[in-house]
Structure 1
Amino acid sequence: MERELLLECQRNDRNAQRKVYEKMAGKLYAVCRRYLKNDEDIEEAMADSFYKIFTRINQLQNPDIFEAWARKIAVNECLQKLRTSRELHISLEEDHAFSAGSVSEQGSFEKDILSLLNFLPEGCRAIFNLFAIEGYPHKEIASMLSISEGTSKSQLNFARKRLQQLMVSHNI
């Protein structure tokens, strides 16, 4: 992100904020989509994320890490949404029905994998995203979700196994 654009955002310049929004909206939408299924929840998490980004941008000391900082805000908003809308249940028994037509046959491998994440239980999906995609260590995930490190590790293991099963059943 351009330093000057971020400085203008720090001065509450609405045009600069609009430009930052336009540059970041797609990236943050993808982050939110990995955690939340409901479009209304995604939109709410995005709106809350951008609100926090623009109201806290003065706290950003290094403009070079803006995108990572903004992604972290979006992840935290999604986790908060999961916690408040319905308890973030970590369960190995919860499973979601799926049909063979649910995954795009012509989509890219990455898109297919990301769409399969929707078939994981909420807790497993959140842990998989935090560990495999966002790169958080188990200790930090455990702290963020108020679970033990062992639970984080077992949920990640369950998510990986379930994704492998889904990939086989969908010929991915």
Structure 2
Amino acid sequence: MALPPDSSPLTTEYEERKLVAACLKGDRRAQEDLYRRFGPVALQVCRRYAPGREEAMALLNGGMMKVFEKLDQFRWEGSLEGWIKRVVFHSTIDQFRRQRKRPTLEIASWDQPTADTATHELYAEDLCRMIDMLPETSKEVFWLFAVEGYSHAEIADKLHFSEGNSRWHLNKARQLLRERLNQETHKHNRYAG
């Protein structure tokens, strides 16, 4: 059987299949290669939930352990990278649940107000504080939908309730955020001169 040309997607999948097969056989070098290859993109997922690099690395290591535990469940129905990112995300959320903490929104270099919106006078920290004040389930639904891009069906499956319940929590979160944005204390940017 001839190998596909080096830069084709088939070569990448072929290499990934060989790498996964070696990992499943317990090959430590292959496991290290998988970690090095996909760790950086998985770290980006963890950085969204951790206040610093050390915490993000701890989340990454826990998530990659889950990847190795579940690697035999990957069915090649999507990209390996996407599957790894999803496993790391689920592991991160599980770690926060166990610690009774919730993810925090990390926003880098957004220190400028956005124009012509209800939040045009708010800084990122104000918005984070408002999101953090939401009821726990509504906050989690809002986060999964608005930030992570999950559908209501996926959220309902993940949180073990109906899609209608997911929609209700999202609307409740939006309503509460809208009310807080319209309060007098948030109508003017406290940092503006």
TM class by shorter chain equals: 0.5 to 0.7
Verify: 1:152 aligned to 2:170, yes or no. Answer: yes
- The answer as to 2:87 corresponding to 1:82 is no
Q: Whole-Å Cα distance in 2 between the matches of residues 160 and 65 of structure 1?
A: 38
Matched residue count = 151
TM-score (norm 2): 0.58
Is 1:14 matched with 2:28? yes
Q: Of 52, 67, 74, which aligns to 1:53?
A: 67
Larger CA deviation: 74-83 vs 31-40 = 31-40
Higher helix share: 1
TM-score, length basis structure 1: 0.64
Distance 1:116 1:85 in 2: 25
User: Equivalent residues in 2 for 1:21-170 (5 A)?
Assistant: 21-62=35-76, 64-86=78-100, 88=102, 104=109, 116=124, 119=128, 120-121=131-132, 126-145=140-159, 148-149=165-166, 150-155=168-173
Please state whether the residue corresponding to 1:36 is helix, strand or coil. coil
- The answer to whether the Cα contact below 8 Å between 1:8 and 1:16 also exists between their aligned partners in 2 is yes
- Please tell me the residue identity of whatever aligns with 2:86: K
Q: How much has 1:151 moved relative to structure 2?
A: 1.1
Quote the RMSD (CA, aligned, Å): 4.1
Cα distance in 1, alignment partners of residues 47 and 140 from structure 2: 11
Q: Larger C-alpha radius of gyration, 1 or 2?
A: 2
% of aligned pairs identical?
26
> Mind listing any 5+ residue stretches in structure 1 that lack a counterpart?
90-95, 97-101, 107-114
Q: Greater relative contact order: 1 or 2 (C-alpha under 8 angstroms, separation 6 or more)?
A: 1
